[in-house]
Structure 1
Amino acid sequence: MSLRIQTERWDITVEGPNRASVWENRAARQAPHIRIRTDNHDRILEVATDDATHHPSGRMYDGVGARLLEETNYRLSVVSRRGIKPHVAHLDPSLIRDVRPIPGHEDVLSGNINFRSQVGDSRFVIDDGESEIEVIVEVRPSKLDYETDYEDLLAGVSGLARQLVMEFLRATTRGASTGSGDDTRQIEWLLLLREEIHSLEQALSYVVANPHRHLLRETRMVPAERIRRASAATRRAIARGQGEGTWGTIDGIGPHRERLPASQPYETLNSPENRWLRGQLERTTNILAQLRQDFQATRIRRPDRKPNARTQSVIDELASMESTLAPFLSKPPFVDAPQWVAQSFTSLTLQGQPGYREAYQALLRLNMSLIVGGEAINIPVRDISELYEIWCFLSVVHHVSQVLGATVDIFDLVELRDTGVRLTVVPGARSTVSVETDTCKARVTYNREYKMRSGPQRPDIVVEIMRDDMPPVLLLLDAKYRLDTTPDYVQTFGCPGPPADAIGQLHRYRDAITVKYPKYGVGRPVVRAVALFPLGEYDSHNWVDHPYFKAIDEVGIGALPFLPSNMSWVDEWLEHGIKAPARQLAWPGPDFIAWSHVARPGV
């Protein structure tokens, strides 16, 4: 692989290996992207790759670039054609720490770069004190289908967070649940959202048909003969000769004008409750529109990429929801209540009157669950290995709650704010949630550390099962964003898979981790463990024949593919592990021969 950029001031080259892999070639069907910008002191002359050469002859180039992959060594060279010492800058300084001047040639920089597991756009800035050039290259994942799986991981983290929050908020108000089939489970949060929008639509329709009116008193000019009870304003007007029209006289009152100010009650739809509903309805509609635009933007940034069916379904669904709610803003009572009230406003009418009560609860749930932020989401250049770990954890949490049929206690995962939800899951930090029923409690922990005498042990995901019929046991899931895709590996096993050391680490966990329980004493609680690795459904159809899959039944430890498009393997493993009979679940694998012989009665 080679990329060469030539301008009037610079010769920039990136060279690396042509990695031969059936999987990687399939993962990069579309041409990679590159953007180059120079200032007024420079002009682009040539952009050359292994496949083509372009001559833009300008200060901007936005087009086809070289195929750069994660976790691959490349050599970056920068030569100043003016003999001036260059300088290279990047958002991640560690990426370019080996790019240094060549001794005896201060106008040349050269060194190795490795994007590790950072994928997406990577921006370099090169300058010599007089001129600057910006180069933005696209780094592709080597283990994922860039057109589907990578985008699904990004959307899946925020989608799972929205779904967990929405399920929790719904359970605290009306205990509803929504089921889905295998064909729609990738966007389950949309199914919950659709049902919430439908409930809100019904509530708003009832409000439109039965609006709450507010009784106000307002001082208006009224014919004198229609005034039944004189207010202070009426008496002042008579005393001061104020009012409108011709003069007249009434016995006991004296001279007065034909029309006098009077305070009279009247009904209006411009009530605080209607204003609050309108404000929250506008906010929800705007959020839906912003979400739709965000999903559309992923397609606009890569116009040459084939459409992602799941992304399009999300866009269509959000557009449908937006069109469902938007017309209510032009209907009474909302069109008659243009002023805003504080978001924290509430009243007995808003919380108790039919229609208003349901709309109030639905809008609160929607506004808190639609906006998701936090360190796990708001990172412009994503380290995909950390993204994969977080997605695996949230997916496991969600499926454990489905298996047990219980709501997740999400308060250790998110912060609920008026402005939305902040996901508190941070790469490298511990997070724990609990799911509890009458007969079983499951505690799911991300980055749990066990301090053992033989050294600390830190599996990625720990599912602790506490049932009435047995001591606590641990199911371990290690998210390994590692995949052996070499031709020899694929030819031997029939499909890509994780490297051997990923499985060896799970055996170490089961042997090394010991826990002391007050009721049962000290022991090894790990009974089953699997390594999770990124492999799609199409490429894992031969996984049943892989030794690491067969090892799950033989020794209790193995590996399973896990991606948004390929979740059934892990789902079945979790469900079987949580619901298995006590004797079957407690089985730790084949016994030690010597121990079983020594411990056998009569020996």
Structure 2
Amino acid sequence: MGEWRRCCDNAVCGDNAVCWKSDGVKLKLQGENIQPANENEDLKKGCYNYGVDIADAIVPEWKELWVQVEPEAECIWFGEQEASKKPNGWWSFTFRNYLGKSVIRIKLADGREVVTDPIEVVSPKTPLDEQCDPLFYPKFLRTLIDDLIRYLVSLPFDWEAPTEFATEERTQPPSPIFVLHVLAQHADTICYALQTIWRNPHRRLVTEERWVLLSEASSVDADTILMMLHYPEHLRPYRGNSLSTLAQRLKSKVPERVFERRVTETLDTPENRFIKRFMDIVLYWCDELKRLGYWEKAKSHQPKLEDLQNFVRFLRADPLFADVSELTIFPASSQVLQKRDGYRECLQIYRLLHIARAPIFDRLQDAIDNRRIDQLYEFWCFFRLAETLAAVLGDGQRPYFSTLESDEGGLRRDLSANLGNGYQLVYNEQFEPIWKPKARKKLSYSVPLRPDISLLQENRLLVVFDAKFRFDEKDIQPNQPLEDEMDKAQQEGEIERLAKHADICKMHTYRDALKCRASVILFPGTKGAFHCTNGTKKDNPCLLDIVQNNGLKGVGAVPFVPKPEK
């Protein structure tokens, strides 16, 4: 692979240009605020201090990028989106509503397709050279990821309804963050189950048929006598006294070897092979989670996870499993696996690790791997809100999470959090129009709407939240009428400013169409505002003043920022 560097011909390109070379292909990328990451000392130090690995080239969101390739390209994509071809061999592209890691794909005239090293798309909200700022890019990214892992490890999830059958297994391996959640939540159960198996493992009686020396025979049955007659080649002349009676019957001969059917107990059963494979899976993921750096993030469950790894490693080396073969066929219909103590629990956790219906964890893993900071912020807002509101509105217990069925009753799509006292926080719930037949949630009087987060009490919608990472304090109170601001932004090509004004309009749409008490933008900032329906404005509103009974009515924006651990 190549490497992103600042272009040598700065006299032509200026300082805001980087180049990439590999396999005879040279790519020039230029635009406002483009820079190599290794030239920013504050960023390098911050990435080292917070353990964040970012791409070598930094490009801004919402700013037009210009690309030139040698030899000439037939087509260029930024991620999955195609760039626009311009005269003189130039291409242009703008990242809109996308933050994190991306790549540039180039299709050349000779049919080759070249993929560059990753580039890092950043927002102007996250400074790259102000380490004291809570939104400093490496600090903010690390805080979001650490908080999310803490929530996912410590908060309880319910993956199945009480009346449903076990779900199908996935074909792809589970995401590391989901495995960490399962192992942290079920470490004690796994240890208890394996201890139960260790004390009373499943055994099976097997019949072994073999020819043995006469002196080694331990049992005789009718088949032993018949086999003496069927196989006379084992008979030898005999002149002794101890077997004289048998020798008389066999014409002065006795068998050198006799057929014996021996019944023995064995531990080499399909069920024990499964347990051996299950322990190998647990040990593999323990090592993999440590390698990926997730292990130390589960601080509250660290002792349990260490005990789990040590006990499974000890049991795996026990002579009990020395003669147990490798698993070749999964014993899905085994009554031992389904009903016997110890085996039953291991099977349940194995299936949980391989369920196909854990999309929220897959999306989270993808957001972490690709540093999609806007998506990570949205997920963080949901879990943080659930924890905060459960303490205020609930019955003193921690929120309990469960998955939701899609409208078609198929794959489980999103999450809800039971806060207690009839309150529920739902992520990405879609509210259908009242006039639509067979709709699951009929609440909107016009078009389908899906806010990021919805607060309900006894299925009655109270407040909706939208997590908007791009939102700023100055967007709360436009200087001119909103229509004029949006027209001006459109005329000037300020797509980002237009999108922010659209966010404000969306809040009014939610409140009007869904008839909720309040609609709120959550954003990483310091100053907020809430516009009440009685015409008053409340600066820096408290979130609890909005969500509690008889709370504020209207629309607003509330700062919501994760705080790094000290």
TM-score by length of 2: 0.62
Q: Is it true that 1:15 corresponds to 2:30 in the alignment?
A: yes
Report Cα offsets for 1:500-533 as digits up to 9, x if no partner. 76455424422x125xxxxxxxxx3x12332122
Q: Measure the CA separation in 1 of the matches of 2:285 and 2:388.
A: 27
- The total of aligned residue pairs comes to 464
Q: Measure the CA separation in 2 of the matches of 1:329 and 1:14.
A: 54
Partner of 1:548: 529
Task: Report matched runs for 1:282-431 at 5 Å.
Answer: 282-295=280-293, 310=297, 321-340=308-327, 342-345=329-332, 347-368=334-355, 385-386=374-375, 388-389=377-378, 392-393=381-382, 403=394, 405=397, 407-410=400-403, 412=405, 424-425=412-413, 431=414
Report Cα offsets for 1:544-571 as digits up to 9, x if no partner. xx242798999799999xxxxxxxx97x
Partner of 1:5: 19
Question: 1:120 Cα deviation (Å)?
Answer: 0.7
One-letter amino acid of the counterpart of residue 272, structure 1 = P
One-letter amino acid of the counterpart of residue 3, structure 1 = A
Q: Is it true that 1:213 corresponds to 2:203 in the alignment?
A: yes
Partner of 2:100: 119
Q: Measure the CA separation in 2 of the matches of 1:6 and 1:194.
A: 43
Point out the more displaced range, 246-255 or 286-295: 246-255
8 Å CA contact 1:231, 1:262 repeated in 2 = no
One-letter amino acid of the counterpart of residue 510, structure 2 = Y
2:67 to 58, 63, 76: 76
Three-state SS of the structure 1 residue aligned to 2:470 is coil
Report Cα offsets for 1:369-426 as digits up to 9, x if no partner. 998775675588676545654564566568778846575442527999xxxxx9853x
Question: 1:478 Cα deviation (Å)?
Answer: 0.8
Segments of structure 1 that go 5 or more residues without pairing to the other structure are 33-62, 103-107, 173-186, 297-307, 417-421, 426-430, 490-497, 515-523, 561-568, 591-603
Residues 166 and 76 of structure 1, relative CA distance in 2, 3 Å threshold: same
Partner of 1:513: 513
Question: 1:30 Cα deviation (Å)?
Answer: 5.5
Q: Measure the CA separation in 2 of the matches of 1:413 and 1:156.
A: 28
8 Å CA contact 1:292, 1:318 repeated in 2 = no
Q: Is it true that 1:484 corresponds to 2:477 in the alignment?
A: no
Partner of 2:191: 201
Partner of 1:444: 426
Three-state SS of the structure 1 residue aligned to 2:192 is helix
Q: Measure the CA separation in 1 of the matches of 2:447 and 2:282.
A: 50
Residues 500 and 88 of structure 1, relative CA distance in 2, 3 Å threshold: closer
One-letter amino acid of the counterpart of residue 241, structure 1 = P
Residues 348 and 326 of structure 1, relative CA distance in 2, 3 Å threshold: same
Residues 114 and 128 of structure 1, relative CA distance in 2, 3 Å threshold: same
Partner of 1:236: 227
Partner of 2:558: none
Three-state SS of the structure 1 residue aligned to 2:314 is helix
Question: 1:337 Cα deviation (Å)?
Answer: 1.2
Q: Is it true that 1:475 corresponds to 2:466 in the alignment?
A: no
Question: 1:292 Cα deviation (Å)?
Answer: 4.0
Question: 1:460 Cα deviation (Å)?
Answer: 2.6
Residues 357 and 133 of structure 1, relative CA distance in 2, 3 Å threshold: closer
Q: Measure the CA separation in 2 of the matches of 1:312 and 1:432.
A: 24
Q: Measure the CA separation in 1 of the matches of 2:417 and 2:298.
A: 31
Question: 1:189 Cα deviation (Å)?
Answer: 8.5
One-letter amino acid of the counterpart of residue 202, structure 2 = H
Three-state SS of the structure 1 residue aligned to 2:100 is strand
Partner of 1:588: 553
Question: 1:2 Cα deviation (Å)?
Answer: 1.5
One-letter amino acid of the counterpart of residue 329, structure 1 = R
> Taking every aligned residue pair, what percent have the same amino acid on both sides?
18
Residues 208 and 67 of structure 1, relative CA distance in 2, 3 Å threshold: same
Point out the more displaced range, 389-398 or 501-510: 389-398
Partner of 2:455: 463
Q: Measure the CA separation in 2 of the matches of 1:69 and 1:246.
A: 98
Report Cα offsets for 1:258-277 as digits up to 9, x if no partner. 43121122222223332221
Task: Report matched runs for 1:148-163 at 5 Å.
Answer: 149-150=140-141
Residues 64 and 433 of structure 1, relative CA distance in 2, 3 Å threshold: closer
Question: 1:257 Cα deviation (Å)?
Answer: 1.0
8 Å CA contact 2:382, 2:453 repeated in 1 = yes
8 Å CA contact 1:208, 1:331 repeated in 2 = no
Three-state SS of the structure 1 residue aligned to 2:277 is helix
Q: Measure the CA separation in 2 of the matches of 1:159 and 1:234.
A: 71
Task: Report matched runs for 1:50-69 at 5 Å.
Answer: 65-69=56-60
Partner of 1:90: 77
8 Å CA contact 2:196, 2:342 repeated in 1 = yes
Point out the more displaced range, 330-339 or 234-243: 234-243
Partner of 2:86: 100
Q: Measure the CA separation in 1 of the matches of 2:300 and 2:204.
A: 42
Three-state SS of the structure 2 residue aligned to 1:260 is strand
8 Å CA contact 1:474, 1:527 repeated in 2 = yes
Three-state SS of the structure 2 residue aligned to 1:410 is strand
8 Å CA contact 2:77, 2:104 repeated in 1 = yes
Report Cα offsets for 1:120-148 as digits up to 9, x if no partner. 13224264549886533422432455435
Residues 85 and 112 of structure 1, relative CA distance in 2, 3 Å threshold: same
Q: Measure the CA separation in 2 of the matches of 1:410 and 1:131.
A: 44
Partner of 1:278: 276
Three-state SS of the structure 1 residue aligned to 2:193 is helix
8 Å CA contact 1:2, 1:16 repeated in 2 = yes
